[in-house]
Amino acid sequence: MKPTYVLMAIAATALAACSNQQLYDGIQQNRIQHCERYPDSQYAECVAQYQKDYREYERERQELLNESGN
């Protein structure tokens, strides 16, 4: 395999990971904005549901995939 193809594959993988994180972050922000519709007494509880960062989400996702593959 030519070095150019290897670099292109690495770049494509990095871009896909970045895009996944951006998508995740955008969805989380949208959900948090939706929480603004709730009264103050429920707002904090709603926001707390969406505070997981992408790395934690991805780690948990991989664990679930590994468990279902066994």
Residues ≥6 apart with Cβ < 8 Å to 34 = 46
Distance CA 65, CA 47 (A): 26
Residue with the larger pLDDT of the pair 65 and 9: 65
Q: Mean pLDDT over residues 50-59, rounded?
A: 92
Q: What is the pLDDT of residues 2-24, one digit of tens each?
A: 666 665 666 666 666 668 888 99
Indicate whether 28 pLDDT > 70. Answer: yes
This prediction's pTM: 0.63
Report the domain count for the chain: 1
- State the sign of the Cα–Cα–Cα–Cα dihedral 51, 66, 64, 27: positive
Helices then strands, each counted (H, E), the chain:
3, 0
User: Residue type for 24, please?
Assistant: Y
Domain range for residue 50?
3-69
